[in-house]
């Protein structure tokens, strides 16, 4: 099986030993507590689940700046985005060396992790701007990722953590949320050797379905892991339970049995385009995938990134050998009226735009909201029905 990033074995930060976990819970009740923001909480979940292997906790200031500048920590680990615990107010922890981290996304703010504080440092406004521009490629405050990052605070609380729960993800998505450890184990149980990972934060239409099948055929894969983001999105995106239902229906009806794992992970979307694509590749390697599909404007938003910047970054900025996972580079995929099947547009040079069934996201949402199913060449009717039911419920 493919090795995790940066180590021979996966080292999740979740405390699986029940005695140790109970001891930490008792200790945490007496520790100063920091209520995390959602970004820091999702970082803790990803660290606990093994997705951010081999990190042992939150980065310090030097590592964060180094990652932004040259995609390596000060110790030489290849990494594309800062993994931080930023705070606006430190009055509850002051100069404490050991603290409890509490979850902002669950009622009652339960204990999420225990942390050894190695440093509390402050980023200047210029340093925040530098990290923003390097991570997102822009400092435009209307970019949703930039706006979120700017709201987190300038204090950097760094050090190793021990994770004690996975926030709301296990309770809200018991059939879908999986740790990198669990996905690796399931891949081994299936006996799969070549595994394609597909990232989604949206429902999957015909083009996405066929893209997974194309990738599997091209690399001779044993299976595909559909890996959906379950954390926070931007306003207007379709909520995770609806996406989950739509994807499950599509897989049930239109994929061969025992070729698909439907899973999800607990992370807030960054919308960081190319840098986030590299981060996505790292944690897909950590979960055991050998190949990762990256299409047009992967992890992008608006017009901030070029259509294929998330692919070319692997040529321009990822050093040879830094990652073991292979990237499957996809073009825009659509139904061809000429060929009566879904194709990648680059593979149909004799086509004009009119030869494809193309619908904008805005148009699709408008149709679904009006109870009109997109054409079956664009969306499977059973999937469209689930989405129409959701939009109808929103209008009621």
Cα 144–chain centre separation: 15
Which of 21, 98, 129, 201 is catalytic? The answer is 201
pLDDT at 395 over 80: no
Local confidence band at 202 (pLDDT 50, 70, 90 cut-offs): confident
> 155-163 and 111-116 as β-strands: parallel, antiparallel, unpaired?
antiparallel
pLDDT tens digits for range 217-244: 999 999 999 999 998 777 777 888 899 9
Say which range, 140-144, 166-170, 200-204, 285-289, has the weakest mean pLDDT.
Answer: 200-204
Distance CA 260, CA 148 (A): 34
- Is 346 in the active site? no
Whole-number mean pLDDT of the chain? 95
Local confidence band at 360 (pLDDT 50, 70, 90 cut-offs): confident
Q: Are 272 and 304 in contact (CB under 8 A)?
A: no
Q: Is 11 exposed, middle or buried (0-12, 13-18, 19+ CB in 10 A)?
A: middle
HSE (side-chain half, CA atoms, 13 Å) at 13: 24
Distance CA 379, CA 115 (A): 46
Distance CA 202, CA 234 (A): 12
Distance CA 23, CA 311 (A): 46
Local confidence band at 201 (pLDDT 50, 70, 90 cut-offs): confident
What residue segments make up the domains of the chain, in order of their start? 18-170, 175-395
pLDDT at 126 over 80: yes
Mean pLDDT of 237-262: 92
Distance CA 285, CA 4 (A): 6
**Which has more confidence, 306 or 396?**
306
CATH number, span 175-395:
3.40.50.620
- Is 201 in the active site? yes
Mean pLDDT of 325-334: 95
Specify the pLDDT at position 292: 98
Which of 202, 346, 365, 370 is catalytic? The answer is 202
pLDDT tens digits for range 361-370: 788 888 988 8
Q: Are 219 and 328 in contact (CB under 8 A)?
A: yes
CATH number, span 18-170:
3.10.400.10
């Amino acid at each position: 099986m493919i090795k995790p990033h940066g180590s021979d074995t996966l080292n999740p930060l979740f405390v699986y030993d029940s005695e140790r976990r109970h001891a930490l819970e008792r200790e945490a009740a007496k520790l100063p507590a920091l209520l995390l923001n959602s970004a820091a909480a999702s970082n803790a979940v990803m660290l606990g689940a093994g997705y951010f292997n081999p990190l042992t906790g939150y980065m310090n200031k030097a590592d964060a700046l180094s990652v932004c500048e040259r995609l390596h920590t000060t110790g030489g680990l290849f990494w594309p985005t800062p993994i931080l615990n930023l705070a606006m107010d430190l009055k509850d922890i002051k100069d404490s060396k050991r603290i409890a981290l509490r979850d902002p996304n669950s009622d009652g703010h339960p204990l999420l992790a225990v942390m050894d504080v190695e440093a509390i440092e402050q980023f200047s406004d210029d340093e925040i701007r530098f990290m923003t521009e390097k991570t997102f490629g822009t400092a435009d405050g209307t970019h949703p990722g930039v706006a979120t990052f700017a709201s987190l605070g300038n204090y950097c609380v760094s050090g190793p953590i021990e994770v004690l729960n996975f926030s709301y993800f296990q309770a809200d998505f018991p059939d879908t949320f999986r740790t990198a450890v669990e996905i690796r184990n399931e891949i081994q149980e299936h006996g799969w050797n070549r595994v394609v990972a597909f990232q989604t934060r949206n429902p999957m239409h015909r083009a996405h379905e066929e893209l997974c099948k194309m990738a599997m055929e091209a690399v001779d894969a044993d299976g595909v892991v559909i890996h959906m983001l379950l954390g926070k999105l931007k306003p207007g995106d379709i909520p995770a339970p609806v996406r989950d239902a739509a994807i499950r229906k599509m897989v049930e009806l239109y994929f061969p049995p025992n070729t698909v794992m439907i899973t999800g992970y607990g992370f807030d979307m960054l919308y960081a385009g190319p840098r986030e694509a590299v981060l996505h590749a790292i944690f897909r390697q950590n979960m055991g995938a050998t190949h990762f599909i990256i299409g047009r404007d992967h992890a992008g938003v608006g017009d901030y990134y070029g259509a294929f910047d998330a692919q070319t970054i692997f040529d321009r900025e990822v050093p040879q050998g830094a990652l073991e996972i292979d990237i499957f580079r996809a073009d825009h995929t659509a139904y061809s009226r000429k060929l009566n099947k879904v194709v990648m547009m680059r593979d149909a040079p004799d086509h004009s735009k009119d030869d494809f069934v193309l619908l904008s996201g805005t148009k699709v949402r408008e149709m679904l909201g009006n109870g009109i199913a997109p054409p079956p060449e664009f969306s499977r009717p059973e999937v469209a029905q689930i989405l129409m039911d959701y939009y109808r419920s929103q209008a009621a």
